[in-house]
Amino acid sequence: MDFPPALDFLTQFGCSFVLLRSLSRLLNLLGLLMMLTFCIKVLCFISRFKGVIRFLCDAGGVPRIRFCLDNVVQRRVPNLIGGSFLDSKSSTFIDVINPATQEVVSQVPLSTNGEFKEAVLAAKKAFPLWRNTPITTRQRVMLKLQELIRRDMDKLALNVTTEQGKTLKDAQGDVFRGLEVVEHACGMATLQMGEFVSNVSHGIDTYSIREPLGVCAGICPFNFPAMIPLWMFPVAVTCGNTFVLKPSEKDPGASVLLAELALEAGLPEGVLNIVHGTHDIVNAICDDDDIKAISFVGSNTAGMHIYSRAAAKGKRVQSNMGAKNHAIVMPDANVDATLNALVAAGFGAAGQRCMALSTVIFVGGSQQWEAKLIERAKALKVNAGTEPNTDLGPVISKQAKERIHRLVQSGVESGAKLLLDGRNIVVPGYESGNFIGPTILSDITANMECYQEEIFGPVLLSMQADSLEEAINIINNNKYGNGAAIFTTSGVAARKFQTEVEAGQVGINVPIPVPLPFFSFTGNKGSFAGDLNFYGKAGVNFFTQIKTITQQWKDSTGSSKINLAMPTSQKY
């Protein structure tokens, strides 16, 4: 029998075959132990980078393994400056957290002031050439961009779900509603047409044109990480401006992916720039003299700060802020269609929409529908947005969850009746997620904190009114004015409502009356600060300024007399 060289010395000393066989088995065992040790080290290496193995069971009880290695290398989100994606030189980064799992998806920098200045300078340098680029060329970039967004729809939606938490289907809607604005920007030549009047006076013509402003900026919220950036930069750059975008630090990935597509579509270097950060970058945007206009969507606190600070520096500002959207339910409304609409508008996207339905006002006998409303809300499935058949996912953060819990509890302590409580929901496999189930509070009064504040979660408030007039007064007395809806089969009631209600966007049997981009998003009262709204004609007007030209071409035989009187179109 041949033994390994390492065992030769044993045979030289007359060791028995039995002893050699025992030692051989021992070496085999040691080999297995070494392999096991190696495997353990590999797993430890993976765990250091937050790789997670979850053993779950599907609905049929069949064991299922999900191996999540998204964070084997913790990705740091780059800035986009002058056409290049650059890692920030900042020493401070914020974790981007998956709200369903609490896993770190990536890290976003608190960019330095120097990096912000570089982004603005890149936009400023790109402006002269871009503004003089033919509008048809700019439109073609948008045509290509919309094609690329459609190509990468699933990739964008998965990123939105991973970072923001909404369901994949809802995330696709997030991307698609932004895509519609890109499509609208493809017709910018028509949207920017000026006016012309020939012979306003003797041999004089006057016409007006729309010109770009220069460097513009956008400050985005977390709730629509794809749609809101697409509300902003496509219209701005197709008008001939250059742009600096600050995504939400909670879910910046979609903005970066969209910027990659914009560059692929042919957008020149410096036309679109991205700088990540929080309040320091926001204040820098407000204060920078080279930035001419700011678009913002977010809370009232941030929105009014931005509006006041930027307006004081002479900038244009459009600031879409908080909301408390109401729906009036008349006794003659279609019961099933109305209840389905209320549930969808109240709990979709876990209530994290500025146009989410927050308050339903039952008029007269329609209050009896509350029980059916509760049953339909109970039937909704709460789970991670990536799981099949999920109706609503988590809210964005633990802090948001705690705030929603507090506002619900304040309502209960103020006398509201808790008809459905989703605060203690536990989702198997996602026990650490920021989940809140559908919650319904009844007997709400106008002085309650939960009514006065935007909850921004899956919470629906129920109020009662004896008449349509009383219901309209409830809405009009609220400080917000984003949207309002009525459910009725009466044209008379609908017409009275649309005429008298004080809200910028009105739905007749439509619970979330957000207009398509050939109209404008027209919130008012405490929901908007500024003069010109988002997208549509108002959006084009916001990102352009009017120049009026009056011209006269005199022939050489004209009078050489100097006339110092005020010019008029009259002959004396």
Same-domain check for residues 349 and 311: no
Same-domain check for residues 387 and 301: no
Catalytic residue, from 216, 286, 354, 450: name it: 354
Task: Identify residue 256 by its one-letter amino acid code.
Answer: V
Judge residue 318's burial from the number of C-beta atoms within 10 Å of its C-beta, 0-12 exposed, 13-18 middle, 19 or more buried: buried
The reported pLDDT for the residue numbered 503 is 97
Lowest mean pLDDT among 44-58, 74-88, 452-466: 44-58
Q: With both helix axes pointing from N to C terminus, report the angle between 113-131 and 279-287 in degrees, rounded to the nearest 10.
A: 40
Range of the domain at 428: 325-479+483-516
Distance (Å) of CA 44 to CA 32, 54, 75, 518: 18, 15, 20, 55
User: Is residue 398's pLDDT more than 90?
Assistant: yes
Residue 525 lies in a domain: no
Of residues 572 and 334, which shows the higher confidence score? 334
The reported pLDDT for the residue numbered 13 is 36
pLDDT tens-digit map of 8-33: 433 343 444 344 455 556 556 666 66
pLDDT tens-digit map of 434-492: 999 999 999 999 999 999 999 999 999 999 999 999 999 999 999 999 999 999 999 99
The number of distinct structural domains making up the chain is 2
pLDDT tens-digit map of 326-374: 999 999 999 999 999 999 999 999 999 999 999 999 999 999 999 999 9
As a whole number of angstroms, the distance between CA 535 and CA 542 comes to: 9
Residue 416 lies in a domain: yes
The reported pLDDT for the residue numbered 508 is 99
pLDDT tens-digit map of 88-100: 999 999 999 999 9
* Cα dihedral 107, 113, 115, 121 in deg (nearest 10): 140
Same-domain check for residues 142 and 278: yes
pLDDT tens-digit map of 558-570: 667 888 888 776 6
Lowest mean pLDDT among 25-29, 73-77, 159-163, 327-331: 25-29
456's CB contacts (< 8 A; 6+ apart) are: 223, 351, 352, 356, 395, 400, 404
pLDDT bin (cut points 50, 70, 90) of residue 45 is very low
Lowest mean pLDDT among 80-94, 226-240, 557-571: 557-571
Task: Identify residue 458 by its one-letter amino acid code.
Answer: P
Residue 32 lies in a domain: no
Out of 290, 320, 350, pick the residue that ends a domain.
320
As a whole number of angstroms, the distance between CA 44 and CA 53 comes to: 12
Taking residues 274-298, report their average pLDDT: 99
CA angle (464 as vertex; 463, 470 as ends), nearest 5: 110
The reported pLDDT for the residue numbered 17 is 39
Residue 306 lies in a domain: yes
Contact present, 77 and 276 (Cβ < 8 Å): yes
15's CB contacts (< 8 A; 6+ apart) are: none
| H/E element, 463 | strand 459-465
As a whole number of angstroms, the distance between CA 146 and CA 149 comes to: 5
The reported pLDDT for the residue numbered 555 is 76
Same-domain check for residues 299 and 337: no
**CATH number of domain containing 411:** 3.40.309.10
**pTM for the full predicted model:** 0.86
Q: Is 354 a catalytic residue?
A: yes
Mean pLDDT of the chain, nearest integer: 90
